[in-house]
A and B are shown apart, each in its own frame.
Chain A
Amino acid sequence: MAIRPEDILHVKTPSMNRLEAAYLPEVIKGFGTTMRHFFTSFGGMGNSRTMSYPEERRENMKVEDGGMELKNFRGFHRLNRDEKGRVKCVACMMCPTICPAKCIHIIAGESPWDDREKYPVKFEIDELRCIYCGMCEEACPVDAIELTPEYDIVGLTRQEMIFDKEKLLHVYDVTISKKPM
């Protein structure tokens, strides 16, 4: 939607007084802020935001204290399984269509099961290209693709970070208790 002229707010820069125009006092003031944060982070008290990761993790904290909301955190993808343990995806290609980063690659085929037409023979997500917008999750008509609370999976090569169907199903297996379907 275009921005309407009446929605635009013009803000004037306030003019500086003499002290501010002298430049140096303001620099010292700014440096003071830096030092304050530096020391409070050592103390770990009050309004310090520093954590001792990975011993302390946001998923273990309360949301009010800056913890993570597991239900809607957008981390790595998983492919859900149906009640028979098969991949739930029907290869409808809605997610690659909507994906703004074009990082989902699916090859569809005739499914080996009687109760379903189509299934993904290959399903790959390039997790390095993904921008974790969650659009795929929104688009999926069968709730097969989901973003999990996992965010600290690492790889030594780019190839390793292209998750295939097996890996995505494995992510499901290990995250299902943390984040039920």
Chain B
Amino acid sequence: MPKITLNGRELEFKPGQVIIQVANQAAPVIEIPQYCYHDGLSIVASCRICLAEIWMPDKATGKLMPYMGGKLMPTCQTTCIDGMVVYTDSPKAVANQKAVMEYLLINHPLDCPVCDQAGECLLQDFSYEYGRGESRFEEAKVKNPKKDLGPNIYLYSDRCIMCTRCVRFTREVTGTGELLVSGRGNREEIDVFPGKPIDNELSGNVVDLCPVGALLDKDFLFAQRVWFLKSTPSIDGITASGDNILVEHNDGKVYRIKPRTNMSVNKWWITDEVRHGWKFVQREDRLCEPKHKQFGVQLKTDWERAIADCVEGLKAVATRGKHIAFLASPMLSCEDTFSIARATTAIDPRAFLAVGPVPVHGQDKTFPPNSADGFKLYAEKCPNSRGVRRTLEALSKQGKHNGYVANFEQFINQVRSGEIGGVIVTGNFPSDWVTPALMDALKNAFVVVIDTLPSELAARADVLLPGATWVEKTGCFENARAMIQAFERAIPVLDGARPEAQIGADLFAQIKSGKPDLAPAYNAAAIRTEMSRVPGLEAFATSVSLPTVTVEQQPAMAMVEL
């Protein structure tokens, strides 16, 4: 493989790569300061902080000669050539870095104390590492205004460093082109066209792209300082995309969701509905205590009692000569589904399995429009309809139904036909999902509801068990691309609620032992191993992709020996 030498280290490169890509991918990373370069965008080489001194061996003599006449070259735009010797730490390169930093800070307000970006700001980091620490600028700073660019985004023009990452994003990735550069010199500003706010479905990504605190998310504005947040790798739990995300939380509360780079799924981006759709997790009215019906009234109870009531009630259905059914919501993880389905079939081996309603809003969309390999926005608004179906079908093949798994309509008809006398219904949708048809069908049945939000059905349930949202549990989802991806628990489960997989395990434990005990805490990996023993579910042992986190920018602070 051809090689370049960067700051004294030999690095291999693939033909066509630019120097900065080789440096960013080296292990350990060789840090080259960079603002305008981004892996997912075109290269403009406008910020000029990545300039390096480059030497090339002379073809005839092999002696190192200054490349391109010895001027500093942008490493983000210079393609690697075998034998190149690059310095970003030579006196000339360092002098440039200092000059660029000073220039960028001339009109910069330096209001880090009130700037949301502080702590994850490239300007702060590079100023600390490559800047000069004091300003020689004595004149008054130009203050460009704060602007409202769209439903999700504020622009603090005075903090902008004109890297144009955001503009390139709207032109190249979304193809919507809302942002533009207007004015010149110190009056140069990012703007939108009059009456055309930036409101495309991916608009939130410009906030992540902005290396400084110029573009900020209205939703996260002033909510937390970023250094208080802890990140947990997770998977989109709202749509079928399976986008890789980071759930950022503090003290058991979620504050924001950010994309996690995965080149085979979402690349660097996520949609705004994934970014902002988690609010239901913290709704005030989340269900948080198990309830059971006594003499026609729903009363609070404890978990042991509630689980015992479920088992008793569902067993009684079988004695009446009817069957029970499990309606698995496509919001559940594969482990949840397996765990509850196993308990259901343990009570009644002829139990029916069905997949809950799969919400589809409109049609799939691609960004930029009509591109073949663009970013895809999925119309299916649930994370795991495929995984749930796959799990249930495998279990149904093992059982008496020969692989038959009903969909929501078929389930309603089955219940109407009077074949089914007792059901376990799971919800976990971000908004009310119960249809009048479902309510009507379940009129005479014994109903166990496992859900997170109050609904008409929850109010009518014979036993009501509060479940957990995906950020409160571990598990895996199968996305629209048929990839099974595992996610981790970000925040503790709401007091009084239990993850569905746990409820399934509790039910199973009581069916087996006949005693009102609860099962020990479930382990998602162990459930997956168990699942993989069922014919048709082998994939859960072999092809679940576990979350890997790549930390892109390491903090530059070093311990100083005094």
Contacts and interface: CB of A to CB of B under 8 A. Distances in A.
Interface of A: 1, 90-94, 97, 108-110, 116-118, 141-142
23 contacts: A1-B561, A1-B562, A90-B113, A90-B114, A91-B222, A92-B114, A92-B225, A93-B228, A94-B113, A97-B225, A97-B227, A97-B228, A108-B222, A108-B223, A109-B222, A110-B221, A110-B222, A117-B111, A117-B114, A118-B114, A118-B222, A141-B113, A142-B113
B114 A91 contact: yes
B222 A92 contact: no
B111 A93 contact: no
A117 B115 CA distance: 9
Contact of A93 (B221, B225, B561, B562): B225
Contacts of B114: 90-92, 116-118
Given A90-B114, A92-B113, A94-B113, 20 more contacts: A1-B561, A1-B562, A90-B113, A91-B222, A92-B114, A92-B225, A93-B225, A93-B228, A97-B225, A97-B227, A97-B228, A108-B222, A108-B223, A109-B222, A110-B221, A116-B114, A117-B114, A118-B114, A141-B113, A142-B113
Contacts of B228: 93, 97
Interface in B90-140: 111, 113-114
Interface string B217-229: 0000111010110
4 closest residue pairs by CB, A with B: A92-B113, A108-B222, A118-B114, A93-B225
A91 B115 CA distance: 10
Contacts of A1: 561-562
Interface residues of B, number: 11
A171 to B, nearest CB: 23
B159 to A, nearest CB: 11
Nearest to B221: A110
Contacts of B223: 108
B298 to A, nearest CB: 34
Nearest to B225: A93
B255 to A, nearest CB: 12
Q: Which of A91, A93, A110, A141 has most chain B Cβ within 10 Å?
A: A93
Contacts of A117: 111, 114
B251 to A, nearest CB: 10
A108 B40 CA distance: 34
Nearest to A120: B222
B476 to A, nearest CB: 36
A111 B221 CA distance: 12
B215 to A, nearest CB: 15
Contacts of B562: 1
Contacts of B221: 110
B330 to A, nearest CB: 37
Contacts of A92: 113-114, 225
Contacts of B111: 117
Interface string B159-177: 0000000000000000000
Contacts of A116: 114
A108 B220 CA distance: 11
A90 B114 CA distance: 7
A3 to B, nearest CB: 12
A91 B222 CA distance: 9
A66 to B, nearest CB: 35
Nearest to B222: A108
Q: Which of A1, A97, A110, A117 has most chain B Cβ within 10 Å?
A: A117
Interface in B219-266: 221-223, 225, 227-228
A141 B111 CA distance: 10
A175 to B, nearest CB: 25
Contacts of A91: 114, 222
Nearest to B227: A97
